[in-house]
Amino acid sequence: QVHLVESGGGLVQAGGSLTLSCAASGGTFSSYALGWFRQAPGKEREFVAAISWTGGSTYYADSVKGRFTISRDNAKNTVYLQMNSLKPEDTAVYYCAACQSSRWRTEQEYDYWGQGTQVTVSS
């Protein structure tokens, strides 16, 4: 079982950048695909980005494509989400999650979740 802890959230002005990190412990990090999800107040959780076990494949929601970049460092057991050109609508609690399924682009396949980190983008 893998334990995930996010960090790096905060308050930023529109157009700014933030980098979220998610450190994993327990389990074999390289055996998990990893994803970032977010939940805004009053809204359902939504997919943001995902990365395969080796980092060779990535997948993004249309709303963040071209602005966000997901990456991973298997030596450091850490996954990152670089967020550029932030918009007020990106405001949400951001969660990282891990799965061992081949269907790593599907939210329902994620078994392990972090506690979340708040990102607030002011206009």
* pLDDT given at position 45: 95
Instruction: Answer yes or no: is pLDDT of 102 > 90.
Output: no
Query: Over the stretch 5-44, which tens digit does the pLDDT of each residue have?
Result: 999 999 999 999 999 999 999 889 989 999 999 999 999 9
Give me the residue label for tokens 């599907």. Answer: 106
Residue 92's CB is within 10 A of a number of other CB atoms, namely 22
Query: Over the stretch 43-64, which tens digit does the pLDDT of each residue have?
Result: 999 999 999 999 899 999 999 9
pLDDT band at 1; cut points 50, 70, 90:
confident
* pLDDT given at position 121: 98
* pLDDT given at position 104: 87
Token pair listed for 25: 């412990």
| DSSP-based three-state secondary structure for 1 | coil
pLDDT band at 90; cut points 50, 70, 90:
very high
Q: What is the 3-state secondary structure (H, E, C) of 32-68?
A: CEEEEEEECCCCCCEEEEEECCCCCCEEECCCCCCCE
